[in-house]
Amino acid sequence: MDILNYIDGTLVGPRSDAWLDSVEPATGTVHARLPRSNADDVQAAVEAAERAFPMWSALTAAQRSEIMLAIARGIKERFDELAEAESMDQGKPVWLAKAMDIPRAVDNISFFATEILHTHTRAFETNTSVINYTLRQPIGVVGCISPWNLPLYLFTWKIAPALAAGNCVVAKPSELTPLTAFLFSQICIDAGLPPGVLNIVHGLGAECGKAIVAHPKTKAISFTGGTVTGADIARTAAPMFKKLSLELGGKNPTLVFADVDVDAVAKKVARASFTNQGEICLCGSRIFVQRPIYDAFKQALLREIATITVGDPRETTSRNGALVSEQHLEKVLSYIDLARAEGGTVLCGGERVHLEGRCANGYFVAPTLIEGLGTECRVNQEEIFGPVATIIPFDTEDEALRGANSTTYGLAASVWTNDVSRVHRVARLLESGIVWVNTWLERDLRTPFGGVKSSGVGREGGEEALRFFTEAKNVCIQF
Ligand code: NAD
């Protein structure tokens, strides 16, 4: 199967005729090829976007909303096909793509399509003869670059507010998971999105992604991916004075206090650590447990992890599927080796899982829990982004907070306790953009989303995203 670029309303191959293989992680076999686009393809996409901008930005919010809602309906109509494609490309179970990724893609588009019907701007009365009002205007051509872990989910999370605000977009999905973005381009054509409003260019980050970031006509870049890549993008974009939203890596703490229901919370903590094979930037990878319940909680967590079946993503019985690529598999296994070298004890998992039949060559890793490592060791400092978590005892709230805040990251934290005062104290002191209390991954799309420290710059979600994708202009009138 050939995945094609979507430029100026049509599906086209790369100008250089260079292609990349797309591998199915559950089987290790090539299932498609995708364009290895370069700066020429990006140039064509930017030109198409520039041509479309005057028309798209001049539509009323209601007109843009109508087209975007048709796109959301198009996703729903191809729901099963999209879920199966996402699973094949990424390695996640089909049931999870149906429960999480594809519904969320629909929600992303519908949310921003309707949010723009309810926005307002502000006016400031300086005195009886001077009034100011603020316009929020679309920026022009913007670049959106997304990662492989939640492919269509994060791709639409960026594109939807950009388009809703009246911008034209040049977007690039991860080269590891291009398939649903390709299907999405077909859906946009069928929904009647005018040519050039959205352009999707496939290829490698260092080539195609970099060309989007470096292009003088892309005025804002919304990026989700690794922290090292984010720094590279900032180096290119900052001297060009582009607006930048960087959603980067995490090393998220889970804080379990002694007053909780051990069995019930262990179930939820296992989900927070291992959903999507641990390949969610929000997964809790460092589990801090208060000493009085440490042993009981550890045993309950191990019992829960034992129920996580690793298997063929097509099977409904598989709770976890394959890791996204062979390279990522090697990275995750190398961190498990490092944990042993740093003096950690692997309590469960700790190895590649070899399946029979169709998935014999797939990239599967058993959910792994490690204890005995200090907060400062590399395994507790660096993002692994796989089914690997550490468990660490603590005595006091201060100690838990010190451990939680000890990394350079600050994306999300979860706190498990029934003590209301503690909830408020701890939530204020955690260095992270998101704090969940007695829950995890509960998302209201109106809320600000993003990280602090090395987890990123800027916020997405709700009005924050619309603010990012518009420029404020003050109009001051003397009358
Ligand atoms: P990555 O940084 O390798 O790639 C992300 C995207 O950027 C891909 O499309 C890639 O092709 C592109 N890219 C790579 N180098 C580039 C460059 N120099 N210029 C422009 N584009 C470039 O990340 P990944 O491995 O795909 O994703 C995993 C990372 O994403 C993890 O660190 C994870 O925590 C992070 N992530 C963060 C969030 C969040 O919301 N904060 C969400 C999901 C994933």
pLDDT digits (tens, 9 = 90+) for 20-66: 999 999 999 999 999 999 999 999 999 999 999 999 999 999 999 99
- The rounded distance, in Å, linking the Cα atoms of 273 and 279 is 9
* Strand bridging mode 141-145 / 168-172: parallel
Q: Is the CB of 145 under 6 A from ligand 1?
A: yes
pLDDT of residue 194: 98
Tokens of 212: 């989007």
Q: Is the CB of 174 under 6 A from ligand 1?
A: yes
- The rounded distance, in Å, linking the Cα atoms of 104 and 468 is 21
Q: What is the mean pLDDT of the chain?
A: 98
Ligand 1 pocket test, pick from 152, 281, 326, 432 with the greatest ligand atom count within 8 Å of Cβ, gives: 281
Tokens of 394: 């603590």
Q: List, run by run, the mean pLDDT of 10-residue segments along the chain (479 residues).
A: 98 98 98 98 99 98 98 98 98 98 98 97 97 98 98 98 98 98 98 98 98 98 98 98 98 98 98 98 98 98 98 98 98 98 98 98 98 98 98 98 98 98 98 98 97 97 97 98
pLDDT of residue 474: 98
Q: Is the CB of 230 under 6 A from ligand 1?
A: no
Percent of the chain surpassing pLDDT 90 = 100
Tokens of 88: 């094949």
- The rounded distance, in Å, linking the Cα atoms of 39 and 212 is 8
252-444 belongs to CATH 3.40.50.1220: no
Q: How far are the Cα atoms of 42, 45, 49, 104 from residue 99, in angstroms, in the given order?
A: 34, 33, 33, 9
Every domain range in the chain assigned CATH 3.40.605.10? 5-248+455-478
- The rounded distance, in Å, linking the Cα atoms of 333 and 386 is 9
pLDDT of residue 100: 98
Q: Which of 297, 310, 261, 263 is nearest to 394 (CA)?
A: 297
Find out whether 156 and 65 touch, Cβ atoms under 8 Å. Answer: no
Find out whether 273 and 254 touch, Cβ atoms under 8 Å. Answer: yes
5-248+455-478 belongs to CATH 3.40.605.10: yes
- The rounded distance, in Å, linking the Cα atoms of 127 and 412 is 45
Q: How far are the Cα atoms of 114, 119, 215 from residue 72, in angstroms, in the given order?
A: 11, 20, 30
pLDDT of residue 337: 98
Q: How far is the CA of 324 from the centre of ligand 1 (A)?
A: 13
Ligand 1 atom at minimal distance to the Cα of residue 229 = 2
The answer to pTM > 0.95 is yes
Q: Is the CB of 281 under 6 A from ligand 1?
A: yes
- Owner of token pair 């100026």: 8
Q: Is the CB of 221 under 6 A from ligand 1?
A: no
Ligand 1 pocket test, pick from 153, 174, 232, 452 with the greatest ligand atom count within 8 Å of Cβ, gives: 174
Tell me the one-letter amino acid at 457: V
Please tell me which residue in 281, 283, 431, 460 is annotated as part of the active site.
Answer: 281
Q: Is the CB of 187 under 6 A from ligand 1?
A: no
Q: How far is the CA of 208 from the centre of ligand 1 (A)?
A: 13
Every domain range in the chain assigned CATH 3.40.309.10? 252-444
Q: Which of 257, 271, 294, 278 is nearest to 391 (CA)?
A: 294
Ligand 1 atom at minimal distance to the Cα of residue 233 = 19
Residue-level length of the chain: 479
Q: How many CA atoms lie within 13 A of 331 on its CB side?
A: 13
Q: Phi then psi for 25, rounded to 5 degrees?
A: -65, -30
pLDDT of residue 405: 98
pLDDT of residue 389: 98
